[in-house]
Amino acid sequence: MSYKRVLTIQDISCVGQCSLTVALPIISVCGVETCILPSAVLSTHTGGFSGFTFRDLTDDIPKITEHWKKENISFDAVYTGYLGSIKQIDYVADIIDDSDAISIVDPVMGDKGTLYTGFDTDFVSAMKKLCEKADIIIPNITEACFMTGVAYKEEYDSTYIDTLLSELRKFCNGTIILTGVSYNDLSTGVVVYEKNKLSYYEHKKLAGSCHGTGDIYASAFTGALLNEQSITTAAKTAADFTLMCIENTDSSHWYGAQFEKVLPALAKMLK
Ligand code: PXL
């Protein structure tokens, strides 16, 4: 495999095992150079901590990218996660437009039917426009519902998922990887819609859930894809790895998944 370079754009949550503190180690262990563009710096993530700090880095983005242009720095892939403002989404859209890199957008905005603290419907509309540009999008069901206007459901059948996918396809021309698709209590999985072909990778569902597993999934997917796995294989690798992370997280560790314990296993999965 040739040496690849990814740019990942998401926040630094200093404590919380999500976003860049997850993407950097996971993509790096896949043997891929991981360059970062921090969208914001928070003392912790916003899911369950109170009183967190938030420094928006939107205004730094054009200065950083101008410098990279002068240095002729380019990337094989641009992978975006949690973004801090609508203006920032516009800058990220410019980065994708100006680059030949494959673009992977995880429209991080919410989970379990609600938006994360700080996001509103204007932000959802802006994120939807970013998804229009992406080669690959990785929404969960909540994010897909907010972007399409389809009502969120906890329990559903494959007709509901088909509707969600066809609504997403109205504005997203690339590949869609819908995460957290579960038709019963024992299993969950990911639906991959690629070039008019639909596949579903189902695996066991664990009783507990962990914060930040969406970021783990998208990071592992990006690392596997840049290891020349096909989209469907990378989608499976990422699902298996995410499951392993949750399995290895102590129940008392409430704010994130203890992915560090299984990083070597991800490297092995790619060999
Ligand atoms: O894991 C998604 C995420 C990323 N970044 C921040 C968050 C969240 C989810 O709550 O708060 C800052």
Report the distance separating Cα 86 and Cα 47, nearest Å.
Answer: 20
Mean pLDDT throughout 128-148? 98
The reply to whether ligand 1 has any atom less than 6 angstroms from the CB of 108 is yes
Measure the CA–CA gap between 229 and 169, rounded to whole angstroms.
24
Q: 237-247, pLDDT tens digit by residue?
A: 999 999 999 99
216: Cβ below 6 Å to ligand 1? no
pTM, entire model:
0.98
Q: 209 pLDDT band (50/70/90 cuts)?
A: confident
Say what the pLDDT of residue 207 is. Answer: 84
- Distance, CA of 41 to CA of 57 (rounded, Å): 8
Would you place residue 208 in the very low, low, confident or very high pLDDT band (cuts 50, 70, 90)? confident
* Average pLDDT of the segment spanning 208-226: 95
- Mean per-residue pLDDT, 103-128: 97
Q: Which of 9, 11, 213 to mutate to test the pocket of ligand 1 (most atoms within 8 A of CB)?
A: 11
Q: Can you tell me the distance from the alpha carbon of 175 to that of 12, in angstroms, rounded to the nearest whole number?
A: 27
Ligand 1 pocket, residue 80 CB under 6 Å = no
**Distance of CA 166 from the midpoint of ligand 1 (Å):** 27
Residue nearest to atom 8 of ligand 1 (CA): 45
> From the CA of 215, how far away is ligand 1's center (Å)?
9
Mind listing the pLDDT tens digit for each residue in 22-72?
999 999 999 999 999 999 999 999 999 999 999 999 999 999 999 999 999
The CATH code of the domain at 5-260 is: 3.40.1190.20
Mean confidence (pLDDT) of the chain = 97
Residue 83 has pLDDT above 90, yes or no: yes
Other C-beta atoms within 10 Å of 109: how many? 22
Say what the pLDDT of residue 97 is.
97
Tokens, residue 52:
């967190």
Q: Is 217 in the pocket of ligand 1 (CB under 6 A)?
A: no
- Of 13, 41, 52, 79, the one to substitute when testing ligand 1's pocket (max ligand atoms within 8 A of C-beta) is 13
Alpha-carbon distances of 228 from 156, 176, 263, rounded to whole Å: 34, 18, 19
Judged against a pLDDT cut of 90, whether residue 1 lies above it is answered with no
Domain ranges across the chain: 5-260
Query: Where is pLDDT greater, at 1 or 260?
Result: 260
| C-alpha 195 – ligand 1 centre gap (Å) | 30
pLDDT at position 271 over 90 = no
Cβ burial of 56 (10 Å; 0-12, 13-18, 19+) is: middle
- Residue in this structure with the two tokens 């206007």, named with its chain if needed: 149
Q: How far does residue 174's CA lie from ligand 1's centre (Å)?
A: 24
Q: Is 16 in the pocket of ligand 1 (CB under 6 A)?
A: no
Spatial distance between the Cα atoms of 82 and 40, rounded to a whole number of angstroms:
9
* Torsion, Cα of 157, 162, 164, 165 (10° steps): 140
Mean pLDDT of 153-162: 97
